[in-house]
Chain A
Amino acid sequence: MNKKTFLNQLKKGLKGIPKADLDDILYDYEEHIDSALETGKSEEEITRELGSPKKIAKQHKAEFYFNQADEKKTTGSAFKAIIAGIGLSVFNIIFVLPLILSLYAALIAVFLSFIAVAASGLVAMVAGIIFLGFLPALAVVFVGIGVTCLGILLSLGMAWLIKIVTLGIVSYGKANIGIVRRTEGV
């Protein structure tokens, strides 16, 4: 593989990473190859010693997304990190993925049911207001307000829990990524 092919494959593998970071990563390898050329090595020899550009790209991608997840701590960035980790086979996809998916399915189901609680409270409130002529209707309005507030609080609690679980998964991935990086190289 010559210099151009190596850099092209690396660039291809790094798709999705912002341009500034991409350019910075590519620069490192270009500089490496140029420095090695000065010592009289051939492009073939240098790229062989560098290793597979696809593998290298996966490592950089995983590192990029894990770092983003660590800095931003958003659910979106965490998901990207998990997917990058799967690409690097940090996670055993067959074992871990169903586990993660069912965990999220359960969490989201509970989250949605809490939203339903809030919605039912809202319905009770509206119904109470419509039939305000009757005395028990006022009680229904207040119960409705209470149920709505409870539902909102529980939903917020669940959203928080989902975020915590996601961060836990990311830190598990982070703990593993160094080991994989080491074992892949040495």
Chain B
Amino acid sequence: MNIQFKKGVLELCVLSMLYHGEMYGYELTSKLSEAISISDGTIYPLLRRMKNEGYVSTYLSESSEGPPRKYYKLTESGTVYKENLITEWKALSKGVNRLIEGGTDNE
């Protein structure tokens, strides 16, 4: 499995979440850290990199309370990238599951 894939697991989660709907920082990080054990703070550098790479875009939106919120949105190239990561993820998890369950290739 290529190095790009390992790099992509966390990315894949973020991209998938944004695919289902735009989110602001706290919403995204709290849901993500609920699912995977991860410090909330490390997701922001990742979001920034994905923005630099053009996979997500941001916009500010007023909120009923507090300062305006920065919303994250998947771009077109982000959607394509997400599909590629999902294909790789499925291939890997299928292979790993087969090994865990002790199956063989000649079933």
User: Does residue A121 face the partner (Cβ distance < 8 Å to B)?
Assistant: no
- How big is the B interface, by class? 20 to 34
Which of A51-59, A102-110, A139-147 is near enough to bind chain B?
A: A51-59
- Using an 8 Å CB-CB cutoff, how does the interface string of B41-56 with A read, 1 for contact, 0 for none? 1111111110010000
What's the count of A-B pairs with C-beta under 8 Å?
95
Distance in Å from the Cβ of A159 to the closest Cβ of chain B? 28
Instruction: Give the residue name and chain of the B residue nearest to A51 (CB).
Output: B39
Distance in Å from the Cβ of A171 to the closest Cβ of chain B? 12
Distance in Å from the Cβ of A67 to the closest Cβ of chain B? 5
Given A31-B70, A38-B66, is A186 in contact with B41 using a C-beta cutoff of 8 Å?
no
> B41 near A35 (CB under 8 angstroms)?
no
> B24 near A35 (CB under 8 angstroms)?
yes
B30 cross-chain contacts in A, Cβ below 8 A: 36
> A184 near B42 (CB under 8 angstroms)?
yes
Instruction: Give the residue name and chain of the B residue nearest to A68 (CB).
Output: B52
> B39 near A34 (CB under 8 angstroms)?
no
> B44 near A27 (CB under 8 angstroms)?
no
B45 cross-chain contacts in A, Cβ below 8 A: 56, 59-60, 63, 181
- Using an 8 Å CB-CB cutoff, how does the interface string of A14-28 with B read, 1 for contact, 0 for none? 000000000001011
Q: How distant is the Cα of A27 from the Cα of B26 in the complex, in angstroms?
A: 12
Given A31-B70, A35-B69, is A182 in contact with B10 using a C-beta cutoff of 8 Å?
yes
> A185 near B42 (CB under 8 angstroms)?
yes
Main secondary structure of the interface of B (DSSP, over half): helix
> B49 near A67 (CB under 8 angstroms)?
yes
A181 cross-chain contacts in B, Cβ below 8 A: 10, 42, 45-46, 49
> A185 near B38 (CB under 8 angstroms)?
yes
User: Does residue B3 face the partner (Cβ distance < 8 Å to A)?
Assistant: yes
B26 cross-chain contacts in A, Cβ below 8 A: 31-32, 35-36
Q: Select one of B10, B48, B67 contacting A31, CB under 8 A.
A: B67
B24 cross-chain contacts in A, Cβ below 8 A: 31, 35
B6 cross-chain contacts in A, Cβ below 8 A: 178-179, 182
- Using an 8 Å CB-CB cutoff, how does the interface string of B66-77 with A read, 1 for contact, 0 for none? 110110000000
- Using an 8 Å CB-CB cutoff, how does the interface string of A154-186 with B read, 1 for contact, 0 for none? 000000000000000000000100110110111
Q: List 6 interface pairs A-B (beta carbons < 8 Å), by A numbering.
A: A35-B26, A35-B69, A53-B41, A178-B11, A184-B42, A186-B38
